Structure 1
Amino acid sequence: MSEQEYKIVQVTPKDTEKVLEHLRKFFFREEPLNICIKLLGENGDEECLELEQYCAQTIPEGLSLMAVSASGKVIGVALNGSQEPGHLEEMEAYADSCPHPRFRKILQLLAAVDRASDVFGKFPDVDKLVEVRILSVDSAVRGRGIAKVLLEKSTELAKQHDYPLIRIDCSSHFSALAVGRLGFECVFKMPYEDYRQNGEPVFHPEQPHKEVKTYVRRLRP
């Protein structure tokens, strides 16, 4: 699919519902961690309003992008948000207070990865960054470079807003491969077997999804 067949546009609050509609059909149902804990129930037909709120709350920052086909359909989304040092306690409290028990597990994993990866500690000159929180593409147009373009445009947008670093945590083996090919550096990885609560592994995703990886890319010297 050539870039002439779709356009990349900034996501605004008025786009929230159509972005969520896309995510409900694809990312929510297909993300490996969502599948392994049955986030949407045994049959995949339940709602997770807490996940939807998590997605929607980053949109007003103006850092998120979507790919829109010539017919006006959303065919890809990159939900991006900002981070600054000192955010971890708030992130952990948000995760621990989530009323949805299955989504709470995912938020707690994200907080644990954020703490263990210690990106701000590894890059002490960085005072803020852009995090790609969700990257999703319509299954009908995968393999045509849309995710790559969304990441490249997200990087350009971060540069325009003078962010020195962009970060993405990859819970999927395939997303990690794609990000690694785009000039991002892996600065942390954790096998799912090593992430435990009460001594037991929390996540058992299907192969080849065996670890979560944190990638970063510097945007200025």
Structure 2
Amino acid sequence: MDRNVLNLSFEVANTSAKRMQVLKFLKQHFFLDEPIVEASKLYEDEQGLKELENYTKALIDDDLSLIVSDLTSKEIAGVAVISVKYKNQTKSVQKIKSKKFERVAKFLEHLENEAKTFQRIDNLEKAISLDMLSVNPNYRGKGLAKIMIEKVINFAKEKGFKLIRIDCTSLFSTKAALNLGFESVYRIKYAEYKDDGEIVFKINENHPHQEANAMLQIINV
């Protein structure tokens, strides 16, 4: 089978079964090798992984996430977790027991705050957020991340959204977003991010993923 010629289908994860497919895929291909999960050693913390799963479920429950399947092999080639962020959104209060996950959650909140999403356009009330993007290892290096981001952009345009946000925690997602017209409005090197004076993400200097970028693209304006 030649996976260089992709025969893809796209479907929205808007049923219980499809939401479970997305979560199962992320647990297999995203949770363990995502840069901030890896660097924080969250994978060593059973409670932390459970809380990461609950955090992800809440995002998937927006019923906007995307499943990309290879019609030839019948495999899921990738998933994109998509949600809507609102200007005056009340954050759900979740009791976090895992110190490692608490630090990851605080970092993601830091990126969101520094992006200043709702200050970018006057009277902006909501925005599309691409929260997680994961590609099956069998399909990496074939431009699938770019294809999925393009799908998100087209969806946002069709629905009349004016802004899309992505928090890119890897070099690969950052490059894909930049190539599609996103702007990095905030970046921070992992070696410089501290919580209570302690470096949270310990990444070797030769590791390809050295920083996180809060990315935005204004559309329909």
TM over 0.5: yes
After superposition, the Cα gap between the structure-2 partners of 1:46 and 1:22, relative to the gap in structure 1 and judged at 3 Å, is farther
Q: 1:192 aligns with which of 190, 193, 211?
A: 190
Residue of structure 2 in register with 1:41 after alignment:
44
**Aligned amino acid, residue 49 of structure 2:** C
Residue of structure 1 in register with 2:62 after alignment:
61
Aligned equivalents of 1:193, 1:208: Cα separation in 2 = 13
* Uncovered stretches (5+) of structure 1, i.e. residues with no partner: none
Residue of structure 2 in register with 1:116 after alignment:
114
**Aligned amino acid, residue 41 of structure 1:** E
**Aligned amino acid, residue 84 of structure 1:** Y
Aligned equivalents of 1:49, 1:200: Cα separation in 2 = 24
Residue of structure 1 in register with 2:165 after alignment:
167
Residue of structure 2 in register with 1:73 after alignment:
75
1:80 CA drift (Å): 0.6
Aligned residues: 215
1:8-19 correspondence runs (5 A): 8-12=10-14, 13-19=16-22
CA-atom RMSD, angstroms? 2.2
1:114 CA drift (Å): 1.1
CA contact (8 A) 1:63 1:157 kept: no
- Please say if 1:210 is aligned against 2:221: no
CA contact (8 A) 1:169 1:212 kept: yes
Aligned equivalents of 1:188, 1:156: Cα separation in 2 = 24
1:108 CA drift (Å): 0.7
| TM-score where L is the length of structure 1 | 0.88
1:170 CA drift (Å): 0.7
Residue of structure 2 in register with 1:31 after alignment:
34
Matched residues, percent identical?
A: 28
Residue of structure 1 in register with 2:156 after alignment:
158
**Aligned amino acid, residue 181 of structure 2:** G
| TM-score where L is the length of structure 2 | 0.88
1:202 CA drift (Å): 1.3
CA contact (8 A) 1:39 1:48 kept: yes
After superposition, the Cα gap between the structure-2 partners of 1:72 and 1:111, relative to the gap in structure 1 and judged at 3 Å, is same
1:211 CA drift (Å): 1.5
Residue of structure 2 in register with 1:131 after alignment:
129
- Please say if 1:82 is aligned against 2:84: yes
Mean CA deviation greater in 45-54 or 6-15: 45-54
- Aligned residue for 2:64, secondary structure, equals coil
After superposition, the Cα gap between the structure-2 partners of 1:20 and 1:179, relative to the gap in structure 1 and judged at 3 Å, is same
1:28 CA drift (Å): 0.7
